[in-house]
Amino acid sequence: MSQPIEIWINPACSKCRTAQQALDEAGADYVVRRYLDEPPTVAELTEVLNRMGLEPWDITRPKETHDAGIEIPKDADHRNEWLIAMSANPMIIQRPIITATDGTTVIARDPDTLDSVIP
């Protein structure tokens, strides 16, 4: 039995609302995680990044990262510092992040990417 789709959202984000609407229109079984209210742990972020094949700084929001005063070098030696900063400051994480039933994980900010994970 497959797991439901999981979507990490900020309800104030138009891209997140668009993604939820697309999931609703598709009749998808999904779970919403308001990641600002329930920040992901370092382990969860590591798992998501591994599924996407990305580094922490690849999925951060530059303006919010700057506004939060986060100035960590973008290299392997500082990867864990990034993960800790992202968990402590979830507003810097790009959104929406969707994990499909097959484990595929994407940042669904454009229609093609969104379509790739909707059943």
Are 8 and 95 spatial neighbours (Cβ–Cβ below 8 Å)?
yes
CA distance 87 to 83: 6
**Is 16 in the active site?**
no
HSE (side-chain half, CA atoms, 13 Å) at 96:
32
Q: Is 105 exposed, middle or buried (CB count within 10 Å of its CB: 0-12, 13-18, 19+)?
A: buried
Q: Whose structure tokens read 């990262």?
A: 65
Q: Which of 6, 13, 55, 91 is catalytic?
A: 13
HSE (side-chain half, CA atoms, 13 Å) at 25:
9
Residues with catalytic roles: 13
